[in-house]
């Protein structure tokens, strides 16, 4: 019972937050909806024994990435009206149709008894928590090469962001 509550409470918050992200008009509200989704996802990760990932989710996503989003929203300004006309005719109608098909397919898969993940692949009894120790054990032995590439990617991304956001004309005229 508690297990079900720990699933359904964050799950409903996730879906409400996601709907706020796509339907709110004010960009700050969208960002706050995204924060709600990300924090609720972290709760779900904890119930799935992924403690380290939940922690990183809070720090990196709900902390750093959202701060970056809010900074850019403040730079760009929130008072700009978003244009709502379709550039491709009937775009919104078409996409809503595709969305409805996706959702009804999902509902069928979730409700019908032919698609039971647990019957196809029986779950393993594994209660070990995804502690930093356990993750590091896998990360620094089996996954060491992807880890190095990821660190290279971060440096490249940082340099690229600085190069893109640097206003060359303004600096030259000031100097």
Partner 1 sequence: MILRNEIVMLEVTTDWYLTLAAILFSIGFLGMMIRKNALIMFMCIELMLNAVNLTFISASKHFGQVDGQVFVFFVLVVAAAEVVVGLAIIVSIFRKQSSASVDVLNVSRG
Give whole-number Cα distances, 167 to 7, 52, 162, 173, in Å: 47, 39, 10, 10
Distance of CA 11 to the CA centre of its chain: 14
Count residues near partner 1 (CB under 8 A).
Answer: 84
Q: Considering only residues 79, 89, 90, 110, which one is a binding residue for partner 1 as defined by CB under 8 A?
A: 110
DSSP letters, 40-75, are HHHHHHHHTT-HHHHHHIIIIIIIIIHHHHHHHHHH
Q: Does 28 bind partner 1 (CB under 8 A)?
A: no
Q: Does 160 bind partner 1 (CB under 8 A)?
A: yes
Q: Which of residues 110 and 175 has its CB atom nearest to partner 1 in the complex?
A: 110
Q: Minimal distance in Å, beta carbon 118 to partner 1?
A: 5
Stretch 71-90 residues interacting with partner 1 (CB under 8 A)? 72-73, 75-76, 80, 82-84, 87
Q: Considering only residues 9, 74, 103, 108, which one is a binding residue for partner 1 as defined by CB under 8 A?
A: 103
Q: Considering only residues 90, 121, 145, 175, which one is a binding residue for partner 1 as defined by CB under 8 A?
A: 121
Q: Does 11 bind partner 1 (CB under 8 A)?
A: yes
Q: Which of residues 80 and 89 has its CB atom nearest to partner 1 in the complex?
A: 80
Residue 77 Ramachandran class (φ > 0 left, ψ -120 to 50 alpha, else beta) = left
Give whole-number Cα distances, 49 to 46, 66, 68, in Å: 5, 25, 29
Q: How far apart are CA 119 and CA 112, in angstroms?
A: 13
- Tokens read off for 21: 């992200």
Contact 37, 62 (CB under 8 A): no
Q: Does 60 bind partner 1 (CB under 8 A)?
A: yes
Q: Which of residues 141 and 175 has its CB atom nearest to partner 1 in the complex?
A: 141
Q: Does 53 bind partner 1 (CB under 8 A)?
A: yes
Q: Considering only residues 157, 172, 174, 175, which one is a binding residue for partner 1 as defined by CB under 8 A?
A: 157
């Amino acid at each position: 019972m508690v297990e079900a509550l720990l699933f359904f409470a964050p799950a409903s918050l996730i879906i409400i937050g996601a709907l706020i992200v796509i339907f709110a008009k004010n960009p700050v509200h969208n960002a706050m909806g995204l924060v709600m989704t990300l924090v609720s996802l972290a709760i779900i990760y904890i119930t799935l024994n992924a403690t380290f990932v939940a922690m990183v989710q809070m720090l990196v996503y709900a902390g750093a990435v959202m701060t970056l989003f809010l900074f850019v929203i403040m730079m760009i300004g929130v008072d700009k009206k978003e244009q709502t006309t379709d550039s491709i005719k009937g775009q919104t109608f078409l996409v809503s149709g595709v969305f409805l098909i996706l959702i009804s397919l999902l509902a069928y898969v979730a409700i019908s008894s032919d698609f039971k993940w647990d019957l196809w692949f029986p779950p393993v009894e594994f209660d070990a928590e995804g502690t930093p120790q356990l993750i590091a054990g896998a990360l620094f032995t089996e996954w060491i090469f992807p880890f190095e590439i990821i660190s290279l990617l971060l440096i490249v991304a940082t340099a690229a962001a600085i190069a893109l956001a640097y206003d060359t004309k303004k600096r030259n005229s000031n100097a």
